[in-house]
Homo-oligomer: A and B are copies of this chain.
């Protein structure tokens, strides 16, 4: 997905938010924000949002010297998700359509986002999202593709959400490889976060090698690219991975929640909709 001009205010917001995660020093936050403002005029046409995301968070690391500003937030989110895992797992066990319920839980997990806007109960909110009709619903194709698959590549998104990814992975019969970011960026899942989330018990964890908050292929390592090419099914979680891969020419299933009007418009859905969309999957 290309960068829309309407994304620009959000890049500045991300810079402010990242800064506030790291420090109370307004001068330091201003240095972060000023740096991001300077990047905007130089964005190359065709860049995707995770590319500027990568630059923003590299800049945050450079200015603050902190390698993983979201460390604490991620730990909290993983703990939080672990608390609701048993109940949601039970919900799948008693469901008429286990795979659909598990997929919806994995999509809904996307609301676990670095402890902000916590004026809602996560468990309640996730149940609301599970009850909600999918804004784009290619579940039948998804089910079909998984039933024939001998290998599944699962592109991870946020820490915390990762705990609920496990619920979906447990419903998939084929071996799953769970691809995480190469280094900490934003609140995205790294290798350690995936292990803490319990993913190692159900999937092989690999690093895509990217330092962007989205799977930008030209920034990924060869092992990942080989897998990305060969996997029977690729499941892409979250907005950042969608933004990086929405124009790709291989088959892929995007599972995400449209969290802003820009991406909702790009997908032709409403802001807040949950999405299970196949790209190049024959639909």
Partner-B contacts on A (CB < 8 A) = 5-6, 8-10, 12-13, 16, 19, 26, 29-30, 33-34, 37-38, 40-41
How many identical subunits does the complex contain?
2
Whether B12 pairs with A16 at a CB distance below 8 angstroms is no
Q: In the complex, how many angstroms separate the beta carbon of A232 from the nearest chain B beta carbon?
A: 39
A8 proximity list for chain B (CB < 8 A)? 12, 16, 33, 37
A40 proximity list for chain B (CB < 8 A)? 12, 33-34, 37
Q: Does more than half of chain A's interface fall in helix, strand or loop, or is it mixed?
A: helix
Cβ-neighbour of A9 out of B10, B38, B41 (below 8 A): B10
Whether B10 pairs with A26 at a CB distance below 8 angstroms is no
6 smallest beta-carbon distances between A and B, as pairs: A34-B41, A9-B9, A37-B40, A9-B12, A37-B37, A9-B13
Whether A30 pairs with B16 at a CB distance below 8 angstroms is no
Q: In the complex, how many angstroms separate the beta carbon of A14 from the nearest chain B beta carbon?
A: 9
Cβ-neighbour of A41 out of B10, B16, B26, B38 (below 8 A): B38
A38 proximity list for chain B (CB < 8 A)? 37-38, 41
Q: Which residue of B lies closest to A8 (CB)?
A: B12
Q: In the complex, how many angstroms separate the beta carbon of A34 from the nearest chain B beta carbon?
A: 4
Q: Which of A33, A37, A41 has the most CB of B within 10 A?
A: A37
A19 proximity list for chain B (CB < 8 A)? 5
A12 proximity list for chain B (CB < 8 A)? 8-9, 12, 40
Whether B33 pairs with A37 at a CB distance below 8 angstroms is no
A37 proximity list for chain B (CB < 8 A)? 8, 37-38, 40-41
Q: Report the separation of the CA atoms of residues A19 and B8 in the bound assembly, to the nearest whole angstrom.
A: 14
